[in-house]
Amino acid sequence: MGVLNVTPDSFSDGGKFLNTDKAIEGALKMAADGAAIIDVGPESTRPGAEPVSADEQIHRAIPVIEAIAKKTKVCISVDTTSPKVAKAALDAGANIINDITALADEQMAKLAAERQVPVILMHMQGTPQTMQFEPKYDDVVAEVLRFLLDRAKRAEQSGKLKERIFIDPGIGFGKTVEHNLTLLANIDKFVKTGYRVLVGPSRKRFIGQLTGKENPADRVFGTAAAVAICVAAGVSIVRVHDVAEMMNVVKVANALRKEA
């Protein structure tokens, strides 16, 4: 999954794809580089980010989604917590809802069930405004897993088929470096639930803290290590900024996994 943030303020690529033409160009390059999914995000969810209105999100995302859908057969996901935005995105050609609140809004759950599209349910402690203010867990793996299984079961009860539900532990969303490392080291436990798993470690702050790389764009090699661990554990989707580089990581890690 390639990350396409059509925002001015995302932590890594804010402003890079705010222009519609540049966003379309970026999406087509990701598709050419091997991305199976383009994740269009019209609202930053970096620590401290402020909410963006549904109308502004639609203004940013819909022309891009329409163009991607016309120019390539790649799947398109919309990264939003707004049912209004998600509906507009699906109408424009998106195929997947990526919701960092794990269908907290009942209208989003209803929309996903009605359209029978895949949904990505993510764990987050707090909100983007508060999530990095001293996050605490007694057992981060057990608590995150419990939350995701609860939300996944709720999604099934609302009419979602299990094979269309992905769970995401939310690396960097209300977690310390130690929490992130513990989740990644135990990502096989999420895979063993029977739900397909998505992990988004790309360029995250914990990688910068471990490697000393302050600039997110310099965290490619650190991201590659996390991606390799995820692939080896059987994760279904890795969400990344550097598609071409991570495709190489995925191919090698997959080949080694098959030989193991």
Q: What pLDDT, on the 0 to 100 scale, is given for residue 203?
A: 96
pTM listed for this prediction: 0.93
Q: Which residues are known to be catalytic?
A: 204, 239
Query: CATH homologous superfamily for 2-259?
Result: Dihydropteroate synthase-like (3.20.20.20)
Q: What are the structural domain ranges in the chain?
A: 2-259
Q: How far is CA 238 from the centre of its chain?
A: 8
3-state secondary structure of 16: coil
Percent of the chain with pLDDT over 90: 83
Confidence of residue 9 (pLDDT cuts 50, 70, 90): low
Is pLDDT at 13 greater than 70 in this prediction?
no
Least-confidence region, from 38-52, 82-96, 187-201: 38-52
Contact 6, 61 (CB under 8 A): yes
Given a cut of 90, is residue 165 above it in pLDDT? yes
Residue 45 pLDDT? 79
On the question of pLDDT at 126 being above 90, the answer is: no
Helix (H) or strand (E) holding 37: strand 37-41
Instruction: Give the ranges where the chain is alpha helix by DSSP (H).
Output: 20-33, 54-71, 83-92, 106-115, 140-157, 177-185, 187-191, 205-211, 220-233, 243-259
* Lowest mean pLDDT across 45-49, 71-75, 146-150, 200-204: 45-49
